[in-house]
Amino acid sequence: MVSDPHRHAVDASRTNSQIMYQPADQGFATYFLAMLADEDRNVKYAEAIKQCIAQFRKQQGRAPLVLDLGCGTGLLTRLALMHGAAKVVGVDTNRTMCSLATRALKAANVPADKYEIYHGTVDDYAADKDIRFDVMVSEILGTLHTSENLPEYAKQASKYLNTFDTCTYVVPSACSTYLRTVVVRDDAT
């Protein structure tokens, strides 16, 4: 049997409530190309990140330190920097994606002191650091907002996020899933 690096694996020793999506540790899933080419999606992310960082700067009086959870190709890292982040730390468990993010940011002439791309989890990154992020951005949504287990990964990352009064700065800040029933009729019968 050939191992597929894009297959979504889970730890079978866990109970059902503990099973989490485990992204591939290398490779490039072809659905990324469609996401990167989705202009509407990318514009919406750019607008949301711009608004979030502007709100942070207005309310907190400084530029934020941003966590890009599951940074992929570095698109959200770049958008956060374009819209005023002081620095972005992108983390991803996929070595290939970390390499692509680093290459894309270098190709865009983003100053190296403005970002850090880390291969691993946010827990791994923060293990020996006294670090708190001001803003979290992420696009680990998949087809449904739970298919890449964003709620669980965001929960893990939340221990490294600053809370200001009752506000936490996160993009996306809300997700909705809409379903529609489709009936296919076979007119041949």
Between CA 55 and CA 75 the distance in angstroms is 21
Residue 88's contacts (CB-CB under 8 Å, 6 or more residues apart) are 65, 66, 67, 68, 77, 80, 81, 114, 115, 116
The reply to whether 47 belongs to the active site is no
Amino acid at 119: H
Helices 39-60 and 75-82 pack at an angle, to 10 degrees, of 40
Catalytic entry in 39, 47, 116, 139: 139
The reply to whether 139 belongs to the active site is yes
Between CA 60 and CA 22 the distance in angstroms is 35
Residue 91 near residue 118 (C-beta atoms within 8 A): yes
Q: Sheet harboring 87-92: ordered strands across?
A: 115-119, 87-92, 65-69, 135-138, 169-171
Length of the chain: 189
Catalytic entry in 39, 47, 116, 148: 148
The residues assigned a catalytic role are 139, 148
